[in-house]
Chains A and B, each alone.
Chain A
Amino acid sequence: AQSVTQLGSHVSVSEGALVLLRCNYSSSVPPYLFWYVQYPNQGLQLLLKYTTGATLVKGINGFEAEFKKSETSFHLTKPSAHMSDAAEYFCAVSPSNTGNQFYFGTGTSLTVIP
């Protein structure tokens, strides 16, 4: 069975500070991992994904995430927060041997303080 845990339903950072959003997963097989962002009244937009290869993946808007198999983690980071980063962030897992459905975390709401 797959599950995703996002620690911290609300995270606040100052503008220019490091953003760190945590995601841990459980999976019986190596999964594919995703981060999505949701701005108010909009759909889920793909930020970045890990399927195979390099464990550090870069996404849009300066975000990146590192797949750490030993820690079953896929934390999302950005060196310097911008006001426009304020949104809801979702981590998702898709089992690599079946694909298809995604398993989502509960989301983390990021607030950026000017």
Chain B
Amino acid sequence: EPEVTQTPSHQVTQMGQEVILRCVPISNHLYFYWYRQILGQKVEFLVSFYNNEISEKSEIFDDQFSVERPDGSNFTLKIRSTKLEDSAMYFCASSGQGFHEQYFGPGTRLTVT
């Protein structure tokens, strides 16, 4: 069964460093998303991406964040200068033509020290 994959599973970085979280969505999907979950809190939407551009983003997704689909398979989330409060689980998701059903990856746990 096709699935969304994410690497790495756990990333530890120092405050101020740049991190790139990687995702491989399901191959025939067209819509891509990033969500995050701070420990003990709800899953929050960050951004959606379609046709090589951002289609929607939340207030969380400020200038420190960017997304890219550098090739036909990967979808990345970059945080330019990490803060302690960026520590969270980051989930990638993708959906097909009927975008109501989103398929999630296993997440990347980001720890900023």
Contact = CB atoms under 8 A, between A and B. Distances in A.
Interface of A: 4, 32, 34, 36, 41-46, 49, 51, 90, 92, 94, 99-107
B55 interface: yes
Contact of A106 (B41, B56, B58, B105): B41
A34 B100 CA distance: 9
15 contacts: A34-B101, A41-B106, A43-B4, A43-B91, A43-B105, A44-B43, A44-B91, A44-B104, A46-B102, A94-B100, A101-B58, A102-B45, A103-B45, A104-B35, A106-B41
Contacts of A92: 43
B33 A101 contact: yes
Contacts of A107: 42-43
Interface of B: 3-4, 6, 31, 33, 35, 41-45, 48, 55-56, 58, 91, 93, 99-107
Contact of B100 (A44, A99, A104): A99
A24 to B, nearest CB: 14
Nearest to A45: B104
B104 A101 contact: no
A36 B100 contact: no
A26 B31 CA distance: 25
A4 B48 CA distance: 20
Given A43-B91, A44-B91, A99-B99, A104 B104 contact: no
B33, B55, B56, B102: which has the most chain A beta carbons within 10 Å? B102
Nearest to A50: B100
Contact of B42 (A46, A51, A105): A105
B99 to A, nearest CB: 5
B100 A51 contact: yes
B9 to A, nearest CB: 8
Contacts of A105: 42
B104 A36 contact: yes
Given A100-B99, A105-B42, A106-B42, A43 B104 contact: yes
